[in-house]
Amino acid sequence: MDIVVLLTTIDMKAKLEFNLLEPEEAQEHLQCVNASKMACFIWELKHNFWRKWKHNETDFNLDNYKEALQKLMEEHNINPDELYQ
């Protein structure tokens, strides 16, 4: 008995539509188009952010942390106030 396996490629697509005249949907649109920037920011935060204080924990305080976090958001062009209202 011969077994033949046919492999087919399925072309999968997704389309998101937003009514940009509706404030809630316009907000959701901004969140979607900025998702990749947010993902890069989160990756950077998880893997590299701690390195700022790796060798000098005495410099670690809330003000320095907030300042460094704000700088990282600016580097990734992320404005939380714009993305979540």
pLDDT digits (tens, 9 = 90+) for 11-62: 788 888 999 999 999 999 999 999 999 999 999 988 888 887 777 777 778 8
pLDDT digits (tens, 9 = 90+) for 52-76: 777 777 777 889 889 989 999 999 9
Number of Cβ within a 10 Å radius of residue 30: 17
Confidence band for 9, pLDDT divided at 50, 70 and 90: confident
Does residue 66 contact residue 80 with C-beta atoms inside 8 Å?
no
Confidence (pTM): 0.69
